[in-house]
Structure 1
Amino acid sequence: MADLAAEFEAERGHLMAVAHRMLGSRSEAEDAVQETWLRYATALADPAARAQIRELRAWLTTTCSRICLDVLRSARVRRETYPGQWLPEPVVTAVPATDGYAPDPAERAVRTDQLGTALLVVLERLAPEQRVAFVLHDVFAVPFATIAEALGTTPAAARQLASRARRAVTGPDVPRHTADLAEQQQVLAAFAAAVESGELDRLVRVLAPDVVLIGDSGGHFPAGRRPVVGAELVARFILGIYSQAGRHGGPLRARPVLVDGTLGWQLETAYRDGRTLRMVSAYAVHEGRVTGVFHQLNPEKLTGLPEFGPDDVWPPRW
């Protein structure tokens, strides 16, 4: 059992990445990985059974994917009753300490499975089978034969599911995100400066004409029930948010962070009723402009955030 546990722990990070990209919830991903461990420990406790598994990662990935598929199928009902707009639970990590936000090749390879909030939002549009096929093949390069086994279908059908998903996530209404961290930093610095100035026209110039803004509060704070679309509408909405921040008993705290692998901000201020309002903002950036703004305000999805330091104030210091 100790050997099984050691083998599994070596694959836990990979399985968490797979499960989170499929489910969009860290807590659900942790549950899926734990269930994978239970099935693994039960099925392969016999050394003879373990010896028959040549590719342990493939076996674990297939098992975890089947569990995620069941969760996705049941989650569609829960999503329909969710209050307001839905965003995934963000994975917040520190900004890498590299000059100019330009990671070396090894660091870039480590982050290849981090899709960004924009794509995670789009994945919600997909049927569960399409999402599993797309994430496994296009993100983790899993062969279609293995995907077919996870889905209980043929490799040809798995290929078609991934193809349909790929067309959906590259549709004309999907916020484009192609910028590396260096470009993201440049654009978000201009974004912060425009917000700080309070000038509508200046902020509009940082936004793409078809920019979309989505806010998820889970019903805990006021938030739009539909996306805000268009540069001027989004700019007015953002200026309204930031003009109110800090009015009710404290400064606006802010720091740059990586949100699902892309540059964003962790923010905190006092709400008008005395509660602490925490927000993680993620952005999609394409051709020098912001194409998507994603505000996560649901406190149930913002547990475990790092504490702010004395220098973490608005505007963020890069």
Structure 2
Amino acid sequence: MLQGPVLNHTCLRVKDPKVSIPFYEKHFGFVKQKVINGDSFSLYILGIPNSIEPGANWGAQSGLLELKHDFGSENDPNFSVNNGNDAPHRGFGHICVSVDNIVESEKKLLADGVQFKKKLSDGRQKNIAFVLDPDGYWIELIENGINKQEGKTDLATYKLNHTMVRVTDPKKSLDFYRNVLGFKLLTTLNFEEAKFSLYFLAFDDSESFVENVSTDNSQRTGILELTHNWGTESDPEFKGYHNGNTTEDGAKRGYGHICVSVKDPLEIVSKIDSFGSEWIQKYGEAGELGFFRDPDGYEIEIFHHGILPGTEVASL
């Protein structure tokens, strides 16, 4: 059973769950784990079975995708989401699914009519691809090589590998995610010609773990990727990134949050307070979950491992 903190889920708003859920089920092997119904919305929690830990509550799992549906959006011809990649409201970048055989996965997705933002043959990076989900969110594809077979791809090997957000100042963000929330730095990648850096973080409480030396993270789940475009931290004209939840200046909502699940949230509440993060809903004051902001204003949910007991799944 998991005891340490986990990156439990990533939340995305969707127009129509009757379109989005079958898309993730058919093309990436997700299975509905739980449905939570509110007064004006439903939350559909999806997971890929190979990443589900037997016997653990869903609140203690890693690598889940939460799709939020606000009632009525499916019938609104004007509804669309901000996918986080279009100026001037960039922020969230993508989720990433790792696959056993990326060449065969691309072939299958193309045959099924899935729209690609970037194919393997496009651009300089020939080992990654990007597809678009029904709402226009980007899904990166990388290869994990699990049980790889020539000429085949198996959904049972797929994993929700990481979630990417852009950050203004990596020093502040790394301080926050490492020293406040307890993430460990897996890998740093610097691209001098394009002037950006990628920081990959995850929770890892193994005694043998050494920070910033991991060479292959493709078989993991629950990774957070921070993208830093050089110079934003010192540019007085830079207005910051859109957090996916605000509607100022004509922005639309899309990305919701990541969620960190821990054994005892009260252990890190004081660290969040000491860092000076803004609470949207402080843990313990209005129930067993809380929401706060990271240095760029992205929302983070926190709850304890046992908050989602049971395995009941409601139909659409």
TM-score when normalising by structure 1: 0.26
TM-score if structure 2 supplies the norm length? 0.26
**Higher strand share goes to which structure?**
2
Q: Which has the higher contact order (CA 8 A, sep 6+)?
A: 2
Q: Point out the structure with the larger helix share.
A: 1
- The structure having more radius of gyration, on CA atoms, is 1
